[in-house]
Amino acid sequence: MENVFFNDKVLEAEKKIISDLKIPSIVLMENAGAGAADHILKNYISDNSPEVVIICGKGNNAGDGFVTARHLQNAGVKIKVLTLYKERELKGDALINFRILKNVSKGKINILFCLKGKDLISEIRNENSIIVDAVFGIGFKGIPDSRIRSVFESVNSLKNNFVVSLDCPSGFYSYDQSTVCVRADVTLMMGVRKFQTMFYKGREICGKTEMINIGIDQSEFTKYNTEKIFRPVINEISELIPARNINSHKYSNGKVLILAGSPGLTGAACLCSMSALRSGAGAVITGIPESLNDIMEVKLTEVMTLALDETGNKTISVSAYSKIKEKLKWADSVLIGPGLSDNEETHELVRTIIRENDNNFVLDADAISAFRHDMKLLKNKKIILTPHPGEFAGLTGLKTEDIRKEFYEIASEFVRKYKVTLVLKNSPSVTVSENGFFINSTGRENLATAGSGDVLSGIIAGILAQTGDPVNSALAGVFIHGECGDRLYSATGDRGIAAGDLITLLPDVINNIKNAGKIK
């Protein structure tokens, strides 16, 4: 898995790795700059490309920029370097690489000092230039002064230029910051991914992100990843999806029991039921209020329905428990919640099921809110919770705004306390367990549509029925769900999909993920 670090933790880890492996820091700078240059050459330079303008500060990020400039110039690219600090203000590896750049370029590279943003604008004459941002990287903290702010604002004002930031857009430090920073089209991350760049405003500011190998294996970073934050990749996910035995039958391929649906919310029950089936489960039974059974039998031709006693509001009644208990013995996984309603009697049924049984459970939507006043029932159960920030706030009694701002700390503490697996539907979604904090690498804004979460809970329940492993089922389910969304994004863009579109793609997407694991 790819390691993910908070900015300050990256710098600490690199110092320790440099000490452990006896790698001079200037070698890592050379690898970073050479890797960035190679990526730019392969992906953004063509025969008729204009010049590349590299804007440099004075620290290690600037040093990366100087190395990038040298390698691009050696490849025949027209280069201009705009420095925001004079040579006497540079130090360490950055100063060494600045002097190397001057010596080897022999006047082929324009190296100019820019005092303010207006000076920078006057030097970027071609509006189609590629701009490389090497001002601060992850080393920036605080609020930029007026001079640097004018530089950032000037870069952002350029309309048709393509901006590549090295490691991190300069001036960026937090996914909820309000101060100005460079806005990149692409961010080339050095060695490891940085946590703040992966969420909320960070996703907007960083643009597309790519990893640059700086010559340190991920296993070295893992030694110092004390927060245990990871980003699973497709080959690892493929190993979490079980293969069917050639002699298997429907009941040996995973049996899912679903309790879902209420008046006006039958769609949620249908979506999660079909996604559980399409994700590989051999059999699915969906328990619903008895007055909805006729219509559900029409809508769910491949899924068995279970008509259950209902309340006066036509939601599932606590008196249905004895009938449900028999099916709990049958099920390999149990999904409760999509469209279930906020009826208190139905909530008491949910609490009774969890209190008295030890199945592999997935709790979604309305089933989560059943525990807002009795969270201790969740503790030490084999449970996957799949809330969005609002539902998680309702469960914990916190504000949604606080959940969004401090989700790492809050989610991690929640899992430590209750020993559950938490899938927090976010941008991107995260899976949190005692094994670590896992950031999903698939999924785009087109997934923000009604019913998408119901599909996700069904996928997770379907895989859980096959594996019996809550953490790995959650990781695989979130990845698969996002990959379905990504495929639709490629075809139709950022809007217009319906949740059911995801379900139709499930078999092919899962097959492709499994096959990816066979390619080493």
Question: Which residue blocks in 47-184 are alpha helix, DSSP H?
Answer: 60-74, 92-105, 117-123, 146-157
DSSP bridge partners of 286 = 258, 305
**pLDDT surpasses 90 at 131:** yes
Angle (CA) 181-185-188 rounded to 5° is 85
Q: What is the CA radius of gyration of the chain?
A: 26
Q: Give pLDDT tens digits for 351-366.
A: 999 999 999 999 999 9
Q: Backbone phi, then psi, for 145, in 5-degree steps?
A: -75, 175
Residue 124 has what pLDDT? 78
User: What pLDDT was estimated at residue 519?
Assistant: 57
Mean pLDDT of 7-35: 93
Q: Has this prediction a pTM greater than 0.85?
A: yes
Tens digit of pLDDT for each residue in 143-163? 889 989 999 999 999 887 899
Q: Which two tokens stand for residue 284?
A: 């699915």
**Whole-number pLDDT of residue 128:** 76
Helix (H) or strand (E) holding 55: strand 52-56
* H or E element at residue 256: strand 255-259
Instruction: Indicate the pLDDT class of residue 422, thresholds 50, 70 and 90.
Output: very high
- How confident is the model over 425-439, as a mean pLDDT? 96
Q: What pLDDT digit, counting tens, does each position of 212-269 carry? A: 999 999 999 999 999 999 999 999 999 999 999 999 999 999 999 999 999 999 999 9
**pLDDT of 38-89, one tens digit each?**
999 999 987 776 789 999 999 999 999 999 999 999 998 989 999 999 999 9
pLDDT beyond 80 at 107: no
Q: Does residue 192 contact residue 184 with C-beta atoms inside 8 Å?
A: no
Q: What gap in Å lies between CA 136 and CA 172, rounded to an integer? A: 9
pLDDT attached to residue 277: 98
The three-state secondary structure class of 175 is coil
Residue 321's pLDDT band, with cuts at 50, 70 and 90, is very high
pLDDT at site 46: 79
**Strands, E assignment, 301-457:** 304-308, 333-336, 361-363, 383-385, 421-424, 430-433, 436-439
pLDDT digits (tens, 9 = 90+) for 233-242: 999 999 999 9
- Taking a C-beta distance cutoff of 8 angstroms, is the pair 186, 210 a contact? yes
Pick the closest to residue 80 from 116, 47, 119, 27 (CA basis).
119
